[in-house]
Amino acid sequence: MDENKELSQKLEIIVKTLDKNKAEDISVLSIANISPIADYFIIANGTNDKQLQALVREVRNKLFEAGYEEKRIEGVRGSSWVLMDYDDIVIHLFSKEDRLFYDLERIWRDGQKVDISNMLIDEAN
């Protein structure tokens, strides 16, 4: 599979899984032109600790089913900020409070915001 197509597929799996599991305020930043860390940051928050853990579990399972394994996951149990590193995509899942406190969108404001509207579940259907 072409590398760009594979990256797009992985990105779509993550966004759809987060959306399906009611993650709030899903944001995707393209950081490929400003940092060697990854191509994309995905930032979202959960409403409580249980939901945050469910988001981590569901994203991990869906990516594993598609053949993608994480490089590492930090802050899983009892954490209000979980980082999931999938090489070219780094996922940041927060509690609402920690997301506001750390404000990664402001820190990485030089990244380009990606339009993910076509990946989100249409509530009308």
CB proximity list for 12: less than 8 A, separation 6 or greater: 119
Q: Is residue 41 part of a domain?
A: yes
Say whether pLDDT at 10 is over 60.
yes
Both tokens of 44, joined, read 């979202």
For the domain that residue 67 is a member of, what is the CATH number? 3.30.460.10
Short-list 23, 40, 16, 36, CA closest to 114: 40
Q: Is residue 117 part of a domain?
A: no
Say whether pLDDT at 93 is over 80.
yes
**Residue 124's pLDDT is what?**
43
pLDDT band with cut points at 50, 70 and 90 for residue 78: confident
pLDDT digits (tens, 9 = 90+) for 19-33: 999 999 999 999 999
Please tell me whether residue 10 adopts helix, strand or coil conformation. helix
Q: Is residue 96 part of a domain?
A: yes
Residues in the chain, total: 125
For residues 55 and 63, is the Cβ–Cβ distance under 8 A? no
**Residue 3's pLDDT is what?**
79
Gap between the Cα atoms of 58 and 30, Å rounded: 23
